[in-house]
Amino acid sequence: DCSNMCHESSGSALNPTIGIGKGTVSLEDIHDSELIFVVGQNPGTNHPRMLSALKECKDKGGKVVAVNPLPEAGLFNFKDPQTVSGVVGGGTPLADEYLQIKVGGDLALFQALGHLLLAEEARNPGTVVDLSFVEAQTDGFDAYREARGELDWAETEKATGLDRQQIEDVAGMLIRSKATIFCWALGVTQQPHSVDTIKEMVNVLLLQGNFGKPGAGACPVRGHSNVQGDRTMGIWEKPKEWLLESLDKEFGIESPRHHGYDAVEAMEAFERNEVDVFVSMGGNFSLACSDTETLEAGMQRIGLTVHISTKPNRSHVVHGRTSLILPTLGRTDKDDKHSKGAQFLSVEDSMSVVHSTQGRLAPVSDHLLAEPVIVARMAEATFGPDHPVDWKAMAEDYDVVRDHISRVLPGFEDFNTRVRTKNGFVLPNPPRDTRSFKTDIGRGRFTVSPLEYLSPPKGHLVLQTIRSHDQYNTTFYGLDDRYRGISGGRRVILVHPEDLAELGFQDRDLVDVVSTFRGQDRQADKFRLVAYPTAKGCAAAYFPEANALVHKENVAR
């Protein structure tokens, strides 16, 4: 479940606070926002289409605050290749303010921003906090206000690596903004205390009523459609009872009620020899997870590994005792070998828009099958021809699948008709649509979290992992990272020049890297040091090369 590996923290924070595990903004909201925070995210490499949306916001007078340990090129000088000025001009600086925060310091930052907003409201009542919204639609405000009444600025500066004045300047931008969006990605969600960090971001949004109005809201940015769409479809190791009941009613089956494993629990089950069959549909599990050596040893204990893949990857060679690789069509391939004719798929983007997608390329082989066909045939072979689910009908005609979805999942009524419209359709989103919150108490929820940040032992740095410009998830297409000025290799560690000097190293030194976690060491050999203007006290290395340094128990809580 790729949601479990990328944005599980977002759902865990958003569901109890605003009642939905997704973003609450549209593309038009980004265009119309007065202030956008881009936190722990590098749109230039990972979400390039977002840069043009940020530029439109800027063109309309909006402001952008970048919060990132690394100064990412796309936010400082964006050249839109689809415009004449972008091709021949000097580009557009997108970030009005850049907060070079320490890795893991975001929780402290948003606690400080909440403190400053409340302090300004106390000085000038009615000018900052949307009290009518807070009183009518939220719960927990009094406890939150009390918790943020005082702030230890010395510890805040230590946690964030930022000056008090920088934080106060950005708080001033928040105070002046009447429509603010917080965007974030894996730089936030992969922290140990990421759930509390995102809840703190929600607190600040709730304070000013930044839900259900144009140009405002929460925006967890997913990298591709599966990360959001698969969870919407109910792909989760702990499905809700209402979904299981709906599936049982639709298909005449009895779904199992015991919970399954998340990604880390699956790794632990591999180690205990408790997994007989592991099926991976897409992805590259051995390089997508942490603790590479432990994971790969566990995968080789499995009885049968099955990989449904569009291209070869590392997981195929660290297989179980028996292994199958089932090549499949990619989303850009034609899927036209069906009795009902050519088929199309449907996807959901980060804005909760569901639309169709259909491949146009000729497949590399006539023998390739589409993923829905492979899954349906596996199911039919497993359960037999007398099973109540008509697997063959779904494999031959994806409209049958969508008809089932329309009767199982709220918001997908008349699915087949609406998905065929030009722009698809938008799923219901109560915080955005009606300024309401489907939490267990029917209100948005302020929360109080203790201050937590990463404080390494003397002589150590805090490591973050990153992707290069020419990389898609675990797949990289070259050894150059042109936006960061690195070429010819990926086994590099980016370290601030002052940290290099203090630790007794020089730019381009070849080193072995040791990580420590709960008294255990992990080592990765032969990395090249690169002097780079990252946040002091921090270092950065490419994913998946540095995965071996990350202990499997170092997870978001």
533: domain CATH number? Answer: 2.40.40.20
In this structure, the answer to whether residues 407 and 343 fall within a common structural domain is yes
Please say which residue of 187, 203, 222 terminates a domain: 222
Q: Residue 226 — pLDDT band, cuts 50, 70, 90?
A: low
Q: Give pLDDT, residue 87.
A: 40
CA distances from 250 to 98, 168, 401, 422 (A): 51, 55, 12, 29
In this structure, the answer to whether residues 382 and 466 fall within a common structural domain is no
Checking if the pLDDT of 88 tops 50, the result is: no
Q: Give pLDDT, residue 7.
A: 80
Each residue's pLDDT tens digit, 242-254: 999 999 999 999 9
Q: Give pLDDT, residue 46.
A: 64
Beta strand residue intervals within 112-231, DSSP E: 138-139, 180-184, 217-220
Each residue's pLDDT tens digit, 113-161: 999 999 999 999 999 999 999 999 999 999 999 999 999 999 999 999 9
In this structure, the answer to whether residues 176 and 232 fall within a common structural domain is no
Q: Identify whether 451 is part of a domain.
A: no
Q: Identify whether 453 is part of a domain.
A: no
In this structure, the answer to whether residues 214 and 231 fall within a common structural domain is no
In this structure, the answer to whether residues 354 and 381 fall within a common structural domain is yes
Q: Give pLDDT, residue 477.
A: 82
Please say which residue of 171, 191, 222 terminates a domain: 222
Each residue's pLDDT tens digit, 158-178: 999 999 999 999 999 999 999
Can you tell me the distance from the alpha carbon of 418 to that of 407, in angstroms, rounded to the nearest whole number? 14
List the beta bridge partners of residue 181: 36, 217
Return the closest-CA partner of residue 539 out of 556, 520, 514, 522.
514
In this structure, the answer to whether residues 122 and 201 fall within a common structural domain is yes
Q: Give pLDDT, residue 416.
A: 97
Beta strand residue intervals within 238-334, DSSP E: 277-281, 304-309, 322-327
Each residue's pLDDT tens digit, 2-51: 656 678 899 899 999 999 999 999 999 999 999 999 999 887 666 677 88
Q: Identify whether 554 is part of a domain.
A: no
Helix (H) or strand (E) holding 431: helix 430-433
Query: Is residue 557 classed as helix, strand or coil in its secondary structure?
Result: coil
Can you tell me the distance from the alpha carbon of 514 to that of 498, in angstroms, rounded to the nearest whole number? 20
Number of domains in the chain: 3
Q: Give pLDDT, residue 475.
A: 79
Q: Other CB atoms closer than 10 Å to residue 480's CB: what's the count?
A: 17
Can you tell me the distance from the alpha carbon of 121 to that of 137, in angstroms, rounded to the nearest whole number? 19
Return the closest-CA partner of residue 553 out of 294, 299, 368.
294
Q: What angle do CA 26, 32, 34 make, to 5 degrees?
A: 120
Q: Residue 84 — pLDDT band, cuts 50, 70, 90?
A: very low
In this structure, the answer to whether residues 269 and 343 fall within a common structural domain is yes
> Which residue segment(s) compose the domain that 244 sits in?
227-424
Q: Give pLDDT, residue 90.
A: 55
Q: Identify whether 455 is part of a domain.
A: no
What does DSSP say about strands 97-99 and 63-67: parallel, antiparallel, or unpaired?
Answer: parallel
Each residue's pLDDT tens digit, 433-477: 999 999 999 999 999 999 999 999 999 999 999 988 888 778 788
Checking if the pLDDT of 85 tops 60, the result is: no
341: domain CATH number? Answer: 3.40.50.740
> DSSP string covering 161-192, please?
---HHHHHHHHHHHHH-SSEEEEE-HHHHTST
In this structure, the answer to whether residues 207 and 274 fall within a common structural domain is no
Give me the mean pLDDT over the 307-334 stretch: 94
Please return the burial class of 148, using the count of CB atoms within 10 Å of its CB with bins 0-12, 13-18 and 19+.
buried
* Average pLDDT along the chain: 92
- Locate tokens 């956008």: which residue? 36
- Locate tokens 């404080």: which residue? 455
Q: Identify whether 447 is part of a domain.
A: no
In this structure, the answer to whether residues 16 and 155 fall within a common structural domain is yes
Helix (H) or strand (E) holding 517: strand 510-517
In this structure, the answer to whether residues 180 and 239 fall within a common structural domain is no
In this structure, the answer to whether residues 41 and 71 fall within a common structural domain is yes
Please say which residue of 424, 454, 480 terminates a domain: 424
The amino acid at 421: T
Q: Identify whether 456 is part of a domain.
A: no
Can you tell me the distance from the alpha carbon of 197 to that of 40, in angstroms, rounded to the nearest whole number? 12
Each residue's pLDDT tens digit, 481-515: 888 889 999 999 999 999 999 999 999 999 999 99
- Locate tokens 């420590």: which residue? 516
Q: Identify whether 11 is part of a domain.
A: yes
Each residue's pLDDT tens digit, 92-116: 688 999 999 999 999 999 999 999 9
Give me the mean pLDDT over the 68-84 stretch: 70
In this structure, the answer to whether residues 234 and 190 fall within a common structural domain is no
- Interacting residues of 59 by C-beta distance below 8 A, sequence separation 6+: none
Q: Identify whether 189 is part of a domain.
A: yes
Q: Residue 283 — pLDDT band, cuts 50, 70, 90?
A: confident
Percent over 70 (pLDDT), the chain: 95
Return the closest-CA partner of residue 266 out of 293, 235, 228, 299.
299
- Interacting residues of 396 by C-beta distance below 8 A, sequence separation 6+: 338, 339, 340
Query: Is residue 200 classed as helix, strand or coil in its secondary structure?
Result: helix
- Interacting residues of 429 by C-beta distance below 8 A, sequence separation 6+: 20, 22, 24, 352
Query: Is residue 270 classed as helix, strand or coil in its secondary structure?
Result: helix
10: domain CATH number? Answer: 3.40.228.10
Checking if the pLDDT of 227 tops 80, the result is: no
Tell me: cis bond preceding 312? Omega within 30 of 0 counts.
no
Q: What angle do CA 300, 281, 243 make, to 5 degrees?
A: 115
Checking if the pLDDT of 376 tops 50, the result is: yes
Give me the mean pLDDT over the 363-376 stretch: 95
